[in-house]
Chain A
Amino acid sequence: AQSVTQLDSQVPVFEEAPVELRCNYSSSVSVYLFWYVQYPNQGLQLLLKYLSGSTLVKGINGFEAEFNKSQTSFHLRKPSVHISDTAEYFCAVLGGSYIPTFGRGTSLIVHP
């Protein structure tokens, strides 16, 4: 079985400030990890993914995430956010099956 916990349901931040969205997972097998972004009234689109190799993964729009196996975490970071980053962010884990498990989402709200 696998599960994902996104520790914050909402993260408010000012424009140009750094941000970290937290994601912890549990799985009995090796995992693949994903972050998706959902802009208002749209579907989800992939930000970045970790399959293997380097634990620091870079994605689109200046986002990056670090896989930490010992802490079973995959936190998403951006050094300087823009208003346009306001969206819902979902962490997902894929373990021993075809089926990813999604977290409940974190709403990133960027204030001017």
Chain B
Amino acid sequence: NAGVTQTPKFQVLKTGQSMTLQCAQDMNHNSMYWYRQDPGMGLRLIYYSASEGTTDKGEVPNGYNVSRLNKREFSLRLESAAPSQTSVYFCASGPGRGYEQYFGPGTRLTVT
């Protein structure tokens, strides 16, 4: 089992460029999440998907969109990148409420 995989591992964008971060899990989990991690801020939820076919905004959704492509895959899109979106992005999955989350290795994004 690969667990939760994320691509790419690193990315540098110029302001205004777009990109999609990919996430996949092979644990048959219902729920998937996107977080960003900034120094001293902990983890902040961007979007989540409680089950296939549903997505909801988290704490910091502005500037992002998501797609739950199927049960395995949950992508995060930046339509017009801004320097404030420089961060480390983590995807996570979980069986549902009351269970722990399983995290991917992260994508380190720099927007110049």
Which A residues are within 8 Å of any B CB, using their own CB?
9, 32, 34, 36, 41-46, 49, 51, 90, 94, 97-100, 102-105
Measured between C-beta atoms, what is the minimum distance from A29 to chain B in Å?
A: 12
B58 within 8 A of A: yes
B98 in contact (CB, < 8 A): yes
Residue in B31, B41, B90, B103 whose beta carbon sits within 8 Å of that of A104 in the complex: B41
Other CB < 8 Å A-B pairs besides A46-B102, A100-B101, 18 of them?
A: A32-B98, A34-B100, A36-B103, A42-B105, A42-B106, A43-B92, A43-B103, A43-B104, A43-B105, A43-B106, A44-B103, A51-B98, A90-B43, A94-B97, A99-B58, A102-B42, A102-B43, A104-B41
CA distance A105 to B45 in the complex (A): 15
A46:B100 contact, CB within 8 angstroms: yes
Let me know if B96 and A43 touch, CB within 8 A.
Answer: no
Contact of A98 (CB < 8 Å), options: B4, B41, B48, B104: B48
Would A105 and B48 count as touching, CB distance under 8 A?
no
Q: Name which of B4, B40, B41, B97 has the most chain A CB atoms within 10 A of its CB.
A: B97
- A43-B104, A45-B103 as given contacts; A98 in contact with B40, CB under 8 Å: no
Residues on B lying within 8 angstroms of A by beta carbon are 4, 31, 40-43, 45, 48, 50, 58, 90, 92, 96-98, 100-106
Cβ-closest 7 pairs across A and B: A43-B103, A104-B42, A102-B43, A44-B103, A46-B100, A102-B42, A43-B105
B4 in contact with A43 (CB, 8 Å): yes
Question: Which residues of chain B have C-beta atoms less than 8 A from A43's C-beta?
Answer: 4, 90, 92, 103-106
Q: Among the interface residues B43, B96, B100, B102, which one has the most CB atoms of the partner chain A within 10 A?
A: B100
| 8 A-B pairs (CB sep. < 8 Å) | A43-B92, A45-B103, A51-B98, A99-B45, A99-B58, A102-B43, A103-B42, A104-B41
With a CB–CB cut-off of 8 A, which chain A residues contact B48?
A: 98-99
